[in-house]
Protein backbone atom coordinates (compact mmCIF):
# COMPACT_ATOMS: atom_id res chain seq x y z
CA UNK A 1 0.00 0.00 0.00
CA UNK A 2 1.26 3.51 -0.75
CA UNK A 3 1.69 6.14 1.95
CA UNK A 4 -1.43 8.08 1.02
CA UNK A 5 -3.52 4.89 0.79
CA UNK A 6 -2.32 3.97 4.27
CA UNK A 7 -3.27 7.43 5.53
CA UNK A 8 -6.79 7.03 4.18
CA UNK A 9 -7.53 3.37 4.71
CA UNK A 10 -5.81 2.76 8.03
CA UNK A 11 -6.00 6.14 9.73
CA UNK A 12 -9.06 7.53 8.01
CA UNK A 13 -7.62 10.95 7.17
CA UNK A 14 -7.97 12.66 3.77
CA UNK A 15 -4.67 14.40 3.37
CA UNK A 16 -1.29 14.92 4.93
CA UNK A 17 -0.55 17.90 7.10
CA UNK A 18 2.41 20.19 6.66
CA UNK A 19 5.58 18.27 5.95
CA UNK A 20 4.27 14.84 6.87
CA UNK A 21 4.31 13.65 3.27
CA UNK A 22 7.90 14.67 2.51
CA UNK A 23 9.10 13.18 5.79
CA UNK A 24 7.32 9.91 5.09
CA UNK A 25 8.62 9.74 1.50
CA UNK A 26 12.15 10.38 2.70
CA UNK A 27 11.96 7.57 5.27
CA UNK A 28 10.24 5.12 2.98
CA UNK A 29 13.11 5.66 0.54
CA UNK A 30 15.55 4.72 3.30
CA UNK A 31 16.84 8.16 4.40
CA UNK A 32 17.52 9.36 7.94
CA UNK A 33 15.61 12.34 9.29
CA UNK A 34 15.40 14.75 12.19
CA UNK A 35 11.89 16.09 12.68
CA UNK A 36 11.04 19.15 14.72
CA UNK A 37 7.32 19.70 15.04
CA UNK A 38 5.23 21.33 17.74
CA UNK A 39 3.06 19.20 20.00
CA UNK A 40 -0.08 18.19 18.16
CA UNK A 41 1.63 18.71 14.82
CA UNK A 42 1.24 15.06 13.85
CA UNK A 43 4.61 13.48 14.49
CA UNK A 44 3.31 9.95 15.07
CA UNK A 45 2.14 9.38 11.51
CA UNK A 46 5.61 10.36 10.29
CA UNK A 47 6.98 7.05 11.53
CA UNK A 48 3.83 4.94 11.76
CA UNK A 49 3.10 5.13 8.04
CA UNK A 50 6.68 4.32 6.89
CA UNK A 51 6.62 1.39 9.33
CA UNK A 52 3.50 0.08 7.60
CA UNK A 53 4.75 0.77 4.09
CA UNK A 54 8.25 -0.68 4.50
CA UNK A 55 8.82 -4.34 5.02
CA UNK A 56 9.57 -5.39 8.60
CA UNK A 57 8.80 -3.96 12.01
CA UNK A 58 9.09 -0.29 12.89
CA UNK A 59 10.82 0.07 16.26
CA UNK A 60 9.76 3.14 18.23
CA UNK A 61 11.91 4.25 21.17
CA UNK A 62 9.98 6.35 23.65
CA UNK A 63 10.59 7.36 27.27
CA UNK A 64 6.86 7.79 27.91
CA UNK A 65 6.25 4.35 29.35
CA UNK A 66 2.93 5.39 30.85
CA UNK A 67 1.54 6.22 27.41
CA UNK A 68 2.68 3.05 25.60
CA UNK A 69 -0.32 0.96 26.50
CA UNK A 70 -2.69 3.66 25.23
CA UNK A 71 -0.72 4.20 22.04
CA UNK A 72 -0.67 0.48 21.29
CA UNK A 73 -4.37 0.09 22.08
CA UNK A 74 -5.21 2.99 19.77
CA UNK A 75 -3.21 1.40 16.96
CA UNK A 76 -4.78 -2.00 17.51
CA UNK A 77 -8.20 -0.39 17.28
CA UNK A 78 -7.23 0.75 13.77
CA UNK A 79 -6.14 -2.77 12.87
CA UNK A 80 -2.41 -2.07 13.16
CA UNK A 81 -0.40 -4.90 14.71
CA UNK A 82 1.44 -3.19 17.55
CA UNK A 83 3.13 -4.19 20.80
CA UNK A 84 5.45 -2.79 23.42
CA UNK A 85 8.24 -3.88 25.72
CA UNK A 86 8.90 -2.05 28.97
CA UNK A 87 9.44 -2.56 32.68
CA UNK A 88 5.73 -2.61 33.54
CA UNK A 89 5.28 -6.06 31.97
CA UNK A 90 5.84 -9.44 33.54
CA UNK A 91 7.85 -12.19 31.91
CA UNK A 92 4.89 -13.85 30.21
CA UNK A 93 3.65 -10.61 28.67
CA UNK A 94 7.10 -9.85 27.34
CA UNK A 95 7.47 -13.35 25.91
CA UNK A 96 4.21 -12.96 24.04
CA UNK A 97 5.33 -9.71 22.37
CA UNK A 98 8.75 -11.16 21.57
CA UNK A 99 7.35 -14.18 19.85
CA UNK A 100 4.89 -12.07 17.86
CA UNK A 101 7.88 -10.02 16.73
CA UNK A 102 9.81 -13.13 15.71
CA UNK A 103 6.88 -14.58 13.82
CA UNK A 104 6.69 -11.35 11.82
CA UNK A 105 3.29 -10.54 13.26
CA UNK A 106 4.04 -6.97 14.30
CA UNK A 107 4.06 -3.72 12.35
CA UNK A 108 5.19 -1.52 15.23
CA UNK A 109 7.13 -2.29 18.38
CA UNK A 110 7.42 0.37 21.11
CA UNK A 111 10.50 0.10 23.30
CA UNK A 112 11.59 1.92 26.44
CA UNK A 113 15.17 3.14 25.86
CA UNK A 114 16.63 1.06 28.70
CA UNK A 115 15.46 -2.11 26.91
CA UNK A 116 18.20 -1.55 24.34
CA UNK A 117 20.86 -1.88 27.00
CA UNK A 118 19.76 -5.46 27.57
CA UNK A 119 21.63 -7.89 25.34
CA UNK A 120 18.58 -10.09 24.89
CA UNK A 121 16.68 -7.20 23.27
CA UNK A 122 19.54 -6.60 20.83
CA UNK A 123 19.65 -10.24 19.83
CA UNK A 124 15.87 -10.28 19.53
CA UNK A 125 16.00 -7.39 17.06
CA UNK A 126 18.81 -9.22 15.21
CA UNK A 127 16.60 -12.24 14.70
CA UNK A 128 13.72 -10.28 13.23
CA UNK A 129 13.54 -7.63 10.57
CA UNK A 130 13.53 -3.96 11.53
CA UNK A 131 12.08 -1.54 8.96
CA UNK A 132 13.03 1.68 10.75
CA UNK A 133 13.99 3.16 14.10
CA UNK A 134 11.96 6.08 15.38
CA UNK A 135 13.46 7.92 18.33
CA UNK A 136 10.65 9.89 19.93
CA UNK A 137 11.24 12.79 22.36
CA UNK A 138 14.75 12.99 20.91
CA UNK A 139 15.63 16.04 23.03
CA UNK A 140 16.06 13.57 25.93
CA UNK A 141 19.57 12.96 24.57
CA UNK A 142 20.55 16.54 25.38
CA UNK A 143 22.41 16.87 28.64
CA UNK A 144 21.57 20.54 28.86
CA UNK A 145 17.87 20.11 28.37
CA UNK A 146 15.26 19.64 31.07
CA UNK A 147 14.51 16.03 30.20
CA UNK A 148 17.87 14.31 29.95
CA UNK A 149 17.76 10.48 29.92
CA UNK A 150 21.16 8.78 30.13
CA UNK A 151 19.79 5.75 28.25
CA UNK A 152 19.35 7.94 25.20
CA UNK A 153 23.11 8.31 24.83
CA UNK A 154 23.35 4.61 23.93
CA UNK A 155 21.07 5.11 20.93
CA UNK A 156 23.97 6.25 18.77
CA UNK A 157 24.87 2.56 18.52
CA UNK A 158 21.75 1.74 16.55
CA UNK A 159 23.49 2.94 13.43
CA UNK A 160 26.64 0.86 13.99
CA UNK A 161 24.61 -2.25 14.60
CA UNK A 162 22.01 -1.79 11.85
CA UNK A 163 23.63 0.51 9.28
CA UNK A 164 20.99 -0.11 6.63
CA UNK A 165 17.94 0.67 8.76
CA UNK A 166 16.71 4.28 8.38
CA UNK A 167 16.34 6.30 11.56
CA UNK A 168 14.11 9.24 12.42
CA UNK A 169 14.50 11.37 15.55
CA UNK A 170 11.48 13.47 16.56
CA UNK A 171 10.96 16.21 19.10
CA UNK A 172 8.73 19.16 19.88
CA UNK A 173 11.26 21.16 21.83
CA UNK A 174 14.61 22.07 20.41
CA UNK A 175 16.48 25.28 19.98
CA UNK A 176 19.05 25.39 17.19
CA UNK A 177 21.76 24.35 19.65
CA UNK A 178 19.76 21.37 20.94
CA UNK A 179 19.01 20.30 17.40
CA UNK A 180 22.70 20.15 16.58
CA UNK A 181 23.37 18.30 19.80
CA UNK A 182 20.70 15.72 18.94
CA UNK A 183 22.22 15.19 15.49
CA UNK A 184 25.71 14.71 16.90
CA UNK A 185 24.83 12.50 19.83
CA UNK A 186 22.52 10.23 17.87
CA UNK A 187 25.01 9.98 15.02
CA UNK A 188 22.49 11.60 12.69
CA UNK A 189 24.76 14.23 11.17
CA UNK A 190 23.86 13.11 7.65
CA UNK A 191 20.12 13.19 8.37
CA UNK A 192 17.78 15.53 6.57
CA UNK A 193 16.22 18.11 8.90
CA UNK A 194 12.50 18.82 8.72
CA UNK A 195 11.62 21.83 10.83
CA UNK A 196 7.96 22.73 11.01
CA UNK A 197 6.95 26.21 11.95
CA UNK A 198 6.06 26.67 15.60
CA UNK A 199 3.76 29.51 14.72
CA UNK A 200 0.10 29.14 15.65
CA UNK A 201 -1.29 32.14 13.77
CA UNK A 202 -4.87 31.70 14.96
CA UNK A 203 -3.88 32.03 18.62
CA UNK A 204 -3.93 35.57 19.96
CA UNK A 205 -1.34 35.96 22.71
CA UNK A 206 -2.11 38.37 25.55
CA UNK A 207 -0.25 38.91 28.81
CA UNK A 208 -1.82 41.38 31.24
CA UNK A 209 -0.76 42.70 34.65
CA UNK A 210 -2.49 40.79 37.42
CA UNK A 211 -4.85 43.00 39.35
CA UNK A 212 -7.92 41.15 40.57
CA UNK A 213 -7.34 37.96 38.61
CA UNK A 214 -10.70 36.25 39.09
CA UNK A 215 -12.59 39.39 38.05
CA UNK A 216 -10.27 39.87 35.10
CA UNK A 217 -10.86 36.28 34.03
CA UNK A 218 -14.61 36.58 34.43
CA UNK A 219 -14.65 39.69 32.28
CA UNK A 220 -12.64 37.95 29.56
CA UNK A 221 -14.98 34.96 29.53
CA UNK A 222 -18.19 37.03 29.62
CA UNK A 223 -17.21 39.58 27.02
CA UNK A 224 -15.19 37.50 24.57
CA UNK A 225 -15.79 33.82 25.22
CA UNK A 226 -19.38 33.38 26.35
CA UNK A 227 -20.39 29.76 25.81
CA UNK A 228 -16.93 28.71 24.65
CA UNK A 229 -14.92 25.71 25.78
CA UNK A 230 -11.65 26.59 27.44
CA UNK A 231 -8.97 25.71 29.96
CA UNK A 232 -7.94 27.84 32.94
CA UNK A 233 -4.58 26.93 34.47
CA UNK A 234 -3.73 27.63 38.11
CA UNK A 235 -0.60 26.71 40.04
CA UNK A 236 -2.15 25.14 43.14
CA UNK A 237 -4.97 22.73 43.84
CA UNK A 238 -6.53 25.21 46.24
CA UNK A 239 -6.70 27.96 43.63
CA UNK A 240 -8.09 25.48 41.10
CA UNK A 241 -10.97 24.71 43.47
CA UNK A 242 -11.57 28.36 44.36
CA UNK A 243 -11.54 29.51 40.76
CA UNK A 244 -13.88 26.74 39.60
CA UNK A 245 -16.32 27.63 42.40
CA UNK A 246 -16.07 31.32 41.56
CA UNK A 247 -16.83 30.77 37.86
CA UNK A 248 -19.71 28.41 38.61
CA UNK A 249 -21.18 30.92 41.07
CA UNK A 250 -21.02 33.47 38.27
CA UNK A 251 -22.91 31.38 35.78
CA UNK A 252 -20.04 29.73 33.92
CA UNK A 253 -19.99 25.96 34.25
CA UNK A 254 -16.46 25.07 35.34
CA UNK A 255 -15.00 21.71 36.39
CA UNK A 256 -11.91 21.38 38.58
CA UNK A 257 -9.07 19.02 37.61
CA UNK A 258 -5.97 18.33 39.71
CA UNK A 259 -3.93 15.46 41.11
CA UNK A 260 -5.69 15.68 44.48
CA UNK A 261 -9.04 14.54 43.03
CA UNK A 262 -9.72 10.83 42.86
CA UNK A 263 -9.24 9.07 39.54
CA UNK A 264 -12.94 8.68 38.87
CA UNK A 265 -13.74 12.34 39.29
CA UNK A 266 -10.78 13.31 37.13
CA UNK A 267 -11.72 10.91 34.37
CA UNK A 268 -15.36 12.06 34.53
CA UNK A 269 -14.43 15.74 34.27
CA UNK A 270 -12.03 15.08 31.42
CA UNK A 271 -14.52 13.11 29.40
CA UNK A 272 -17.30 15.66 29.97
CA UNK A 273 -14.92 18.38 28.75
CA UNK A 274 -14.15 16.36 25.62
CA UNK A 275 -17.75 15.43 24.82
CA UNK A 276 -19.86 18.40 25.86
CA UNK A 277 -19.84 21.84 24.31
CA UNK A 278 -18.80 25.00 26.05
CA UNK A 279 -17.41 23.59 29.29
CA UNK A 280 -14.54 25.22 31.14
CA UNK A 281 -11.94 23.12 32.95
CA UNK A 282 -9.95 24.78 35.72
CA UNK A 283 -6.80 22.75 36.19
CA UNK A 284 -3.24 22.40 37.31
CA UNK A 285 -0.80 21.50 34.56
CA UNK A 286 -1.61 17.85 35.29
CA UNK A 287 -4.39 18.41 32.77
CA UNK A 288 -3.82 18.35 29.07
CA UNK A 289 -1.32 15.64 28.21
CA UNK A 290 -2.79 13.82 25.26
CA UNK A 291 -5.95 15.97 25.27
CA UNK A 292 -7.01 16.40 21.69
CA UNK A 293 -10.09 18.63 21.63
CA UNK A 294 -10.14 20.74 18.47
CA UNK A 295 -12.44 23.57 19.58
CA UNK A 296 -10.79 24.83 22.75
CA UNK A 297 -11.35 28.58 22.25
CA UNK A 298 -9.22 29.93 25.07
CA UNK A 299 -6.44 28.95 27.43
CA UNK A 300 -6.10 31.26 30.43
CA UNK A 301 -3.25 31.25 32.93
CA UNK A 302 -3.93 32.75 36.34
CA UNK A 303 -0.36 32.04 37.44
CA UNK A 304 2.93 32.37 35.62
CA UNK A 305 4.12 29.19 33.84
CA UNK A 306 7.60 28.02 34.86
CA UNK A 307 9.04 28.05 31.36
CA UNK A 308 8.37 29.20 27.83
CA UNK A 309 8.17 25.55 26.77
CA UNK A 310 5.39 25.00 29.29
CA UNK A 311 3.58 28.16 28.24
CA UNK A 312 3.81 27.19 24.57
CA UNK A 313 2.56 23.68 25.21
CA UNK A 314 -0.33 24.74 27.40
CA UNK A 315 -1.46 27.61 25.17
CA UNK A 316 -1.04 25.27 22.19
CA UNK A 317 -4.10 23.33 23.35
CA UNK A 318 -6.21 26.24 22.10
CA UNK A 319 -7.47 26.41 18.54
CA UNK A 320 -6.36 23.08 17.10
CA UNK A 321 -9.16 23.55 14.57
CA UNK A 322 -7.43 26.65 13.20
CA UNK A 323 -10.18 29.08 14.28
CA UNK A 324 -9.41 32.26 16.23
CA UNK A 325 -8.54 31.51 19.85
CA UNK A 326 -7.13 33.36 22.84
CA UNK A 327 -4.10 32.63 25.00
CA UNK A 328 -4.44 34.92 28.02
CA UNK A 329 -2.07 35.19 30.96
CA UNK A 330 -2.37 37.38 34.05
CA UNK A 331 0.97 37.96 35.68
CA UNK A 332 2.07 40.00 38.65
CA UNK A 333 4.76 40.80 41.17
CA UNK A 334 3.66 37.97 43.44
CA UNK A 335 4.30 35.43 40.66
CA UNK A 336 7.94 36.43 40.43
CA UNK A 337 8.38 36.38 44.20
CA UNK A 338 6.71 32.98 44.50
CA UNK A 339 8.57 31.31 41.65
CA UNK A 340 11.97 32.59 42.69
CA UNK A 341 11.25 31.25 46.16
CA UNK A 342 10.21 27.87 44.76
CA UNK A 343 13.48 27.66 42.85
CA UNK A 344 15.55 28.62 45.89
CA UNK A 345 13.95 25.95 48.00
CA UNK A 346 13.73 23.28 45.31
CA UNK A 347 15.55 20.00 45.65
CA UNK A 348 18.39 19.18 43.35
CA UNK A 349 21.84 20.55 42.83
CA UNK A 350 22.99 24.02 41.90
CA UNK A 351 23.04 23.21 38.18
CA UNK A 352 19.40 22.16 38.38
CA UNK A 353 18.40 25.37 40.14
CA UNK A 354 20.30 27.40 37.57
CA UNK A 355 18.40 25.65 34.82
CA UNK A 356 15.06 26.41 36.48
CA UNK A 357 16.19 29.97 36.87
CA UNK A 358 17.13 30.31 33.19
CA UNK A 359 13.72 28.96 32.22
CA UNK A 360 11.96 31.43 34.49
CA UNK A 361 14.03 34.33 33.13
CA UNK A 362 13.02 33.51 29.56
CA UNK A 363 9.38 33.40 30.63
CA UNK A 364 9.72 36.76 32.39
CA UNK A 365 11.37 38.26 29.32
CA UNK A 366 8.36 37.17 27.28
CA UNK A 367 6.03 38.83 29.81
CA UNK A 368 7.95 42.09 29.90
CA UNK A 369 8.76 42.45 26.22
CA UNK A 370 7.68 45.53 24.30
CA UNK A 371 8.11 43.61 21.03
CA UNK A 372 5.66 41.26 19.34
CA UNK A 373 4.98 38.30 21.65
CA UNK A 374 4.92 35.89 18.71
CA UNK A 375 8.28 37.05 17.38
CA UNK A 376 9.75 36.55 20.86
CA UNK A 377 8.11 33.14 21.27
CA UNK A 378 9.34 31.92 17.88
CA UNK A 379 12.81 33.30 18.54
CA UNK A 380 12.89 31.20 21.69
CA UNK A 381 12.48 28.13 19.51
CA UNK A 382 15.11 29.39 17.09
CA UNK A 383 12.66 30.54 14.42
CA UNK A 384 12.17 33.89 12.78
CA UNK A 385 8.91 35.76 12.53
CA UNK A 386 7.44 39.12 11.61
CA UNK A 387 5.37 41.30 13.96
CA UNK A 388 2.08 39.46 13.80
CA UNK A 389 -0.71 41.95 14.34
CA UNK A 390 -2.43 39.33 16.49
CA UNK A 391 -0.96 39.74 19.95
CA UNK A 392 -1.44 42.39 22.61
CA UNK A 393 1.86 44.14 21.98
CA UNK A 394 1.15 44.39 18.24
CA UNK A 395 -2.45 45.50 18.73
CA UNK A 396 -1.69 47.91 21.52
CA UNK A 397 2.00 48.76 21.42
CA UNK A 398 3.37 49.43 24.89
CA UNK A 399 5.88 52.18 25.31
CA UNK A 400 9.11 51.96 27.16
CA UNK A 401 10.36 54.68 29.51
CA UNK A 402 13.64 55.53 31.11
CA UNK A 403 13.20 54.10 34.59
CA UNK A 404 16.73 54.79 35.78
CA UNK A 405 15.76 57.42 38.36
CA UNK A 406 12.81 55.40 39.62
CA UNK A 407 15.05 52.34 39.91
CA UNK A 408 17.64 54.35 41.84
CA UNK A 409 15.01 55.56 44.31
CA UNK A 410 13.67 52.08 44.84
CA UNK A 411 17.07 50.43 45.16
CA UNK A 412 18.29 53.02 47.65
CA UNK A 413 15.17 52.47 49.75
CA UNK A 414 15.92 48.75 49.72
CA UNK A 415 19.53 49.49 50.61
CA UNK A 416 18.50 51.66 53.59
CA UNK A 417 16.13 48.98 54.89
CA UNK A 418 18.75 46.33 54.42
CA UNK A 419 20.95 48.22 56.87
CA UNK A 420 18.44 47.65 59.63
CA UNK A 421 19.83 44.35 60.78
CA UNK A 422 17.33 41.74 61.76
CA UNK A 423 14.37 43.54 60.22
CA UNK A 424 13.11 42.36 56.86
CA UNK A 425 10.68 44.23 54.64
CA UNK A 426 8.83 43.33 51.46
CA UNK A 427 7.65 45.34 48.50
CA UNK A 428 4.62 46.76 50.35
CA UNK A 429 6.70 48.54 52.99
CA UNK A 430 9.20 49.84 50.43
CA UNK A 431 6.42 51.29 48.30
CA UNK A 432 4.71 52.88 51.33
CA UNK A 433 7.99 54.59 52.15
CA UNK A 434 8.51 55.86 48.59
CA UNK A 435 4.95 57.18 48.51
CA UNK A 436 5.42 58.90 51.88
CA UNK A 437 2.61 57.04 53.64
CA UNK A 438 2.62 57.24 57.43
CA UNK A 439 1.22 53.79 58.08
CA UNK A 440 1.48 52.27 61.57
CA UNK A 441 4.30 50.04 60.38
CA UNK A 442 6.15 53.00 58.86
CA UNK A 443 5.86 54.92 62.11
CA UNK A 444 6.75 51.90 64.25
CA UNK A 445 10.09 51.54 62.50
CA UNK A 446 10.49 55.31 62.06
CA UNK A 447 10.81 54.89 58.32
CA UNK A 448 9.38 58.40 57.88
CA UNK A 449 12.80 59.56 59.04
CA UNK A 450 14.57 57.96 56.08
CA UNK A 451 15.89 60.28 53.37
CA UNK A 452 13.95 58.28 50.76
CA UNK A 453 10.62 58.80 52.55
CA UNK A 454 8.17 60.37 50.11
CA UNK A 455 10.58 60.67 47.18
CA UNK A 456 8.40 58.54 44.91
CA UNK A 457 5.09 60.41 44.76
CA UNK A 458 5.47 60.92 41.01
CA UNK A 459 4.40 57.31 40.46
CA UNK A 460 1.25 55.54 41.61
CA UNK A 461 1.28 52.45 43.75
CA UNK A 462 0.57 50.14 40.82
CA UNK A 463 3.32 51.80 38.83
CA UNK A 464 5.73 51.14 41.67
CA UNK A 465 4.65 47.54 41.77
CA UNK A 466 5.42 47.41 38.07
CA UNK A 467 8.88 48.85 38.71
CA UNK A 468 9.55 46.23 41.39
CA UNK A 469 8.31 43.44 39.12
CA UNK A 470 10.43 44.53 36.20
CA UNK A 471 13.55 45.05 38.29
CA UNK A 472 13.05 41.52 39.62
CA UNK A 473 12.69 40.27 36.04
CA UNK A 474 15.87 42.08 35.03
CA UNK A 475 17.69 40.71 38.11
CA UNK A 476 18.44 44.18 39.38
CA UNK A 477 16.52 43.25 42.52
CA UNK A 478 16.09 39.96 44.36
CA UNK A 479 13.64 38.43 46.81
CA UNK A 480 14.71 36.39 49.79
CA UNK A 481 13.16 34.30 52.50
CA UNK A 482 9.59 33.43 53.34
CA UNK A 483 8.22 36.95 53.46
CA UNK A 484 9.40 38.16 50.07
CA UNK A 485 12.08 40.43 51.50
CA UNK A 486 13.59 42.64 48.83
CA UNK A 487 17.36 42.64 48.50
CA UNK A 488 19.99 44.09 46.21
CA UNK A 489 21.80 41.96 43.63
CA UNK A 490 25.31 42.12 42.22
CA UNK A 491 24.05 44.35 39.43
CA UNK A 492 22.10 46.76 41.62
CA UNK A 493 25.29 48.66 42.37
CA UNK A 494 25.67 49.65 38.72
CA UNK A 495 22.31 51.37 38.78
CA UNK A 496 22.93 53.04 42.14
CA UNK A 497 26.34 54.14 40.93
CA UNK A 498 24.77 55.65 37.79
CA UNK A 499 26.77 53.38 35.53
CA UNK A 500 23.72 51.75 34.03
CA UNK A 501 20.38 52.98 32.70
CA UNK A 502 17.15 51.04 33.09
CA UNK A 503 14.46 50.71 30.43
CA UNK A 504 11.01 49.83 31.72
CA UNK A 505 7.78 48.89 30.03
CA UNK A 506 4.91 51.29 30.58
CA UNK A 507 2.14 49.74 32.64
CA UNK A 508 -0.97 49.67 30.44
CA UNK A 509 -3.13 51.73 32.80
CA UNK A 510 -0.69 54.58 32.77
CA UNK A 511 -1.60 57.33 30.35
CA UNK A 512 1.49 59.52 30.43
CA UNK A 513 5.11 58.92 31.26
CA UNK A 514 6.01 59.93 34.80
CA UNK A 515 7.33 63.42 35.26
CA UNK A 516 10.72 62.30 36.43
CA UNK A 517 11.66 60.61 33.21
CA UNK A 518 11.80 61.01 29.48
CA UNK A 519 10.20 58.58 27.08
P1 LIG B 1 2.35 15.00 18.09
O2 LIG B 1 2.93 13.64 18.38
O3 LIG B 1 3.16 15.78 17.09
O4 LIG B 1 2.05 15.79 19.32
P5 LIG B 1 0.15 13.49 17.11
O6 LIG B 1 0.91 12.60 16.22
O7 LIG B 1 -0.31 12.93 18.40
O8 LIG B 1 0.97 14.82 17.38
O9 LIG B 1 -1.07 14.09 16.30
C10 LIG B 1 -1.93 15.03 16.87
C11 LIG B 1 -3.34 14.84 16.37
O12 LIG B 1 -3.45 15.19 15.00
C13 LIG B 1 -3.79 13.38 16.46
O14 LIG B 1 -5.13 13.36 16.90
C15 LIG B 1 -3.68 12.89 15.05
O16 LIG B 1 -4.56 11.82 14.82
C17 LIG B 1 -4.03 14.12 14.25
N18 LIG B 1 -3.46 14.10 12.90
C19 LIG B 1 -2.17 13.88 12.58
N20 LIG B 1 -1.97 13.94 11.25
C21 LIG B 1 -3.18 14.21 10.70
C22 LIG B 1 -3.65 14.39 9.34
N23 LIG B 1 -2.83 14.32 8.30
N24 LIG B 1 -4.96 14.66 9.17
C25 LIG B 1 -5.79 14.75 10.23
N26 LIG B 1 -5.42 14.58 11.51
C27 LIG B 1 -4.14 14.30 11.76
ZN1 LIG C 1 2.47 40.29 17.55
* Closest protein CA for atom 26 of ligand 1: 13
DSSP state at residue 212: S
* Closest protein CA for atom 18 of ligand 1: 42
Strands (E), 156-260: 167-171, 192-195, 203-209, 230-233, 254-257
Rounded to the nearest angstrom, the distance between the alpha carbon of 13 and the centre of ligand 1 is 10
Q: Which atom of ligand 1 is nearest to the CA of 44?
A: 6
Q: Within 372-460, where are the H helices?
A: 373-380, 392-395, 404-418, 427-434, 440-444
User: In this structure, which residues have their CB less than 5 angstroms from ion ligand 2?
Assistant: 372, 374, 388, 391, 394
Asked whether the beta carbons of 142 and 85 are under 8 A apart, the reply is no
Q: Which distant-in-sequence residues (6+ apart) come within 8 Å of 181 by Cβ?
A: 141, 142, 143, 144
Rounded to the nearest angstrom, the distance between the alpha carbon of 74 and the centre of ligand 1 is 13
Report the alpha-carbon distance of residue 158 to residue 122 in Å, rounded. 10
**pLDDT of amino acid 513:** 36
Go through the chain and tell me how many residues it has. Answer: 519
47 lines ligand 1 (CB under 6 A): no
Task: Give the number of other Cβ atoms within 10 Å of residue 352's Cβ.
Answer: 13
Q: Three-class SS string for 119-131? A: HHHHHHHHHCCEE
Q: Which residues of 90-123 are buried (b: 16+ CB within 10 A; e: fewer)?
A: eeeebeebbebbeeeebbbbbbbbbbbeeeebee
Q: Which atom of ligand 1 is nearest to the CA of 43?
A: 3
Report the alpha-carbon distance of residue 305 to residue 359 in Å, rounded. 10
What are the Cα distances from residue 487, in Å, to 270, 419, 490?
Answer: 44, 11, 10
Strand, coil or helix: what is 478?
Answer: strand
pLDDT, block means (10 residues), the chain with 519 residues: 95 93 97 90 95 96 88 94 94 95 95 92 94 94 79 90 95 80 92 92 95 96 97 96 98 95 93 94 84 91 93 92 95 90 86 85 91 92 89 92 95 86 82 96 94 95 91 86 82 93 77 36
Q: Find the helix or strand (DSSP H, E) in which 468 lies.
A: helix 461-473
Sign of CA dihedral 109, 113, 119, 122: positive
Report the alpha-carbon distance of residue 180 to residue 65 in Å, rounded. 26
Strand, coil or helix: what is 157?
Answer: helix
Report the alpha-carbon distance of residue 144 to residue 167 in Å, rounded. 23
308 lines ligand 1 (CB under 6 A): no
Q: What is the pTM of this model?
A: 0.77
What are the Cα distances from residue 383, in Å, to 144, 196, 264, 337?
Answer: 20, 10, 42, 31
Rounded to the nearest angstrom, the distance between the alpha carbon of 48 and the centre of ligand 1 is 11
* Closest protein CA for atom 5 of ligand 1: 42
Q: Which atom of ligand 1 is nearest to the CA of 41?
A: 3
In the beta sheet, which residues pair with residue 34?
169, 193
Asked whether the beta carbons of 176 and 183 are under 8 A apart, the reply is no
317 lines ligand 1 (CB under 6 A): no
Asked whether the beta carbons of 32 and 186 are under 8 A apart, the reply is no
Determine the Cα angle at 376 with ends 370 and 378, to 5°. 160
Amino acid sequence: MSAVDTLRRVFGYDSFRGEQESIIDHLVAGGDALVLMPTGGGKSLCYQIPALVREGVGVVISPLIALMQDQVDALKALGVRAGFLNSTQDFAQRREVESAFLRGELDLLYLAPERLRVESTISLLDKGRVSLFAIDEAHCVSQWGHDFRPDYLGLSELHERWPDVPRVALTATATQATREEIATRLDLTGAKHFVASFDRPNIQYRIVPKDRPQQQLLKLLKTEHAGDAGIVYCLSRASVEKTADFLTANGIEALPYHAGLDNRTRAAHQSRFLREDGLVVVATIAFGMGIDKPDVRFVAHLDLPKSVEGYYQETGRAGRDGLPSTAWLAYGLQDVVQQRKMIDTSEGDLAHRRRLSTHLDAMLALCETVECRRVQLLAYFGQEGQPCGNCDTCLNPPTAWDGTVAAQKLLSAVYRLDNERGQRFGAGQVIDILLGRKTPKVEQFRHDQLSVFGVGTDLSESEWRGVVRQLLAQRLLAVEGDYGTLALTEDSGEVLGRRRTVRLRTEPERTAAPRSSAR
